[in-house]
Structures are given as C-alpha cells and as structure tokens.
C-alpha cells in the first residue's frame, strides 16, 4: 500500500456523529469515507495544548507514524484515518503503541467496513 497523508484542513474534519475509537488516553482514531478510493490516507494531530514544546510534538508524530506504518496493511482503502495523540502517548512504549493501533484498525474494519458509514 502506498502511504498517503491528509494534507487539507477540510479533510481532517469528520462528522461529529462519526465513529471515534479511543484507547487509554493514548490515541483516538476517527474515520470518514474517503473522497478518493485509491488508498487509505491518514492524518496525525498533536496539539500544542497537550504537547507544549515542538520536541514533544515531533516525537509524538514520529511514534504515531511508526505505529501506523507497522499496521498499514489493516487500513481499509475506503476510509481516511485521523489519529489524535493523547496526553499519555509519551509514556507508551513502541510495542504497546503498535498494539493500540492494531486493535483500533481491527475494530474499525470489523465494525464499519460492512456498513461503509
């Protein structure tokens, strides 16, 4: 799968009643139907409110990218994924983070793939 990122602000916005999966205040995953049906796209949000310093935000984004790339085969092409970093992400190790992403993507594929939101 080719890795594609969400670039436009409008693509980050998801419906308020759409699915939102949260794990232990580490990550939250929102999905919405993709405009382009080629490959799954992803976006990462690491807010300045939670991560005050750029060093922290950059580390969070690196961690999330690693976790996403490790589990990218679980991403469905009909969805755009927005990963929102939680406060506890800096205290999570690589293996646990990869497991969080795997569980989130598996749950999404089981619950929402057939419904196609």
pTM here is 0.81
Report the distance separating Cα 42 and Cα 30, nearest Å: 10
Greater model confidence, 62 or 3: 62
For residue range 70-100, list pLDDT tens digits in order.
998 888 887 888 888 988 899 989 999 999 8
67 confidence band (pLDDT: 50, 70, 90): very high
pLDDT digits over 8-53, tens only? 767 666 655 566 777 767 777 777 776 666 777 888 889 999 999 9
> In this structure, what are the phi and psi dihedrals at residue 37, rounded to the nearest 5 degrees?
-95, 15
Q: Is residue 74 one of the residues assigned to a domain? A: yes
In a domain, 89, yes or no: yes
Residue 104 in contact with residue 21, Cβ under 8 Å? yes
| Domain membership flag for residue 111 | no
Note down the domain range covering 60. 4-105
Contact in structure between 29 and 84 (CB atoms under 8 Å):
yes
Choose among 93, 90, 18, 15: nearest CA to 51.
Answer: 90
pLDDT at position 56, please?
95
**How many domains are contained in the chain?**
1
CATH number at residue 9: 3.30.230.10
Rg (CA), the chain: 13
Is residue 27 in some structural domain? yes
Roughly what angle, to the nearest 10 degrees, separates helices 94-112 and 54-70?
Answer: 60
- 103 burial type by CB count under 10 A (0-12 exposed, 13-18 middle, 19+ buried): middle
pLDDT band at 60 (very low <50, low <70, confident <90, very high): very high
In a domain, 112, yes or no: no
């Amino acid at each position: 799968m080719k890795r594609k990122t969400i670039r436009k602000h409008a693509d980050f916005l998801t419906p308020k009643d759409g699915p939102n999966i949260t794990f232990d205040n580490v990550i939250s995953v929102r999905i919405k139907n993709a405009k382009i049906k080629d490959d799954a796209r992803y976006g990462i949000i690491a807010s300045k409110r939670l991560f005050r310093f750029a060093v922290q935000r950059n580390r969070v984004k690196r961690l999330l990218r690693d976790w996403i790339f490790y589990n990218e085969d679980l991403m469905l092409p009909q969805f755009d994924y927005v990963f929102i970093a939680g406060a506890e992400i800096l205290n999570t190790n690589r293996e646990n983070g990869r497991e969080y992403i795997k569980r989130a993507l598996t749950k999404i594929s089981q619950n929402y793939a057939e419904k196609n939101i």
